[in-house]
Each structure stands twice: as C-alpha cells, then as structure tokens.
C-alpha cells in the first residue's frame, strides 16, 4: 500500500533547513551583518589557523576552490587579507580582524535569537558541523566504474 502524496514527509528536513536559513538571513540582516557566510568562513579559518593557501582554506571551510578564490579576491580588494607567495598564501589583516570581530558580535545576537526560536538548535548545529566533513552519498556505481577504468575514448 502506498501512502498518499499529502502524507509524504520525505522533504520535511529540506523545507525546515530552507526556513531556518531564511530566518537566519533575516536576523543577520537586522543585526547589521554585512559579510556573507562564505566570507566569514574564510576569515574565521584565517583567524583560527593562521595564514593558509587555497587548499588549506578549502579543507578547513568545506568551500569549493572557485568559491575560495572568489572570496579571497573580494576580501583582498576590501583590504581584509593579503595574498603573497607561490602558491598564494592568505593572511588576515587588521581590517579583516576588525570585520570578523564586528560580525562575531552580530552573529552572537543572531545565534541567541535562533536558539530562542528553535530550542535544541545549538546541539543540532554542533552535530551537523561535526558531520559536515563526511561524504553524504556515494557516487553512482557507473561513475565509480568510469573513474576506475579511466576516461572513455
């Protein structure tokens, strides 16, 4: 027996995440946060771990190479970090540190309000972040076989 479509809850987690993301964005805007989550992830990684190249930032933030490159370019032009060497190593500047301090203050207010709206969110967020380095699904078998046998002629 199949369940009726109106009883299907398979998309609930996706809808909940989208709603939470929307509310978090609204609260961040109201708190005066101006940096994107991606920018904050890169600045935070540089602050916590020191100067890093793109590969290190990709590893510590989970962002794609193109995203890291874009964030680095924008942050450098804003004066938040410097890029030097080969491969280029990003170093947080005083201006970048001040931006991060201000955004962390606003972020605490947003986090507090989200925790009020969604009790238990802090624990859930910690679990999600801890699992974020785990590959969520295996590639299809055909993709595995194609990778194992090399490119097709």
User: Is position 56 within any domain?
Assistant: yes
Please give the pLDDT value at position 88.
93
User: Is position 129 within any domain?
Assistant: no
Summarised one tens digit per residue, pLDDT across range 75-96 is 999 999 999 999 899 999 999 9
C-alpha R_g of the chain:
20
Average pLDDT, the chain: 80
User: Is position 53 within any domain?
Assistant: yes
Where does the chain show beta strands of DSSP type E?
52-53, 81-84, 89-92
Q: Say whether pLDDT at 51 is over 90.
A: yes
Domain span holding position 92: 36-120
Summarised one tens digit per residue, pLDDT across range 5-27 is 566 677 887 788 788 888 888 88
In the block, tokens 């606003």 appear at: 106
Query: What is the spatial distance between Cα 67 and Cα 10, in angstroms, rounded to a whole number?
Result: 30
User: Is position 89 within any domain?
Assistant: yes
User: Is position 147 within any domain?
Assistant: no
User: Is position 86 within any domain?
Assistant: yes
User: Is position 126 within any domain?
Assistant: no
Query: What is the spatial distance between Cα 116 and Cα 36, in angstroms, rounded to a whole number?
Result: 23
User: Is position 149 within any domain?
Assistant: no
Give the CATH number for residue 76.
1.10.10.10
Mean pLDDT within 130-152? 46
Work out the number of other CB atoms within 10 angstroms of the CB of residue 72.
21
Please give the pLDDT value at position 6.
63
The torsion defined by the Cα of 33, 17, 62 and 66, in degrees rounded to 10, comes to: -70
In the block, tokens 């101006």 appear at: 34
Please give the pLDDT value at position 19.
83
Which two structure tokens, joined as six digits, stand for 46? Answer: 């540089």
Number of domains present in the structure of the chain: 1
Q: Which of 29-33, 76-80, 97-101, 103-107 has the lowest mean pLDDT?
A: 29-33
Please give the pLDDT value at position 136.
39
């Amino acid at each position: 027996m199949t369940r009726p479509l109106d009883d299907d809850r398979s998309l609930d987690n996706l809808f909940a995440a989208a709603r939470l993301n929307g509310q978090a964005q609204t609260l961040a805007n109201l708190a005066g946060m101006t940096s994107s989550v991606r920018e904050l992830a890169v600045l935070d990684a540089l602050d916590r771990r020191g100067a890093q190249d793109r590969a290190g930032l990709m590893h510590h933030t989970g962002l794609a190479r193109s995203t890291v490159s874009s964030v680095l370019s924008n942050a450098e032009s804003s004066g938040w970090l410097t890029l030097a060497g080969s491969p280029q190593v990003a170093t947080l500047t005083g201006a970048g540190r001040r931006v991060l301090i201000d955004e962390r203050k606003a972020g605490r207010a947003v986090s507090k309000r989200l925790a009020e709206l969604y009790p238990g969110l802090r624990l859930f967020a910690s679990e999600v972040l801890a699992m974020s380095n785990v590959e969520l699904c295996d590639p299809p078998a055909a993709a595995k076989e194609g990778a194992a046998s090399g490119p097709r002629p």
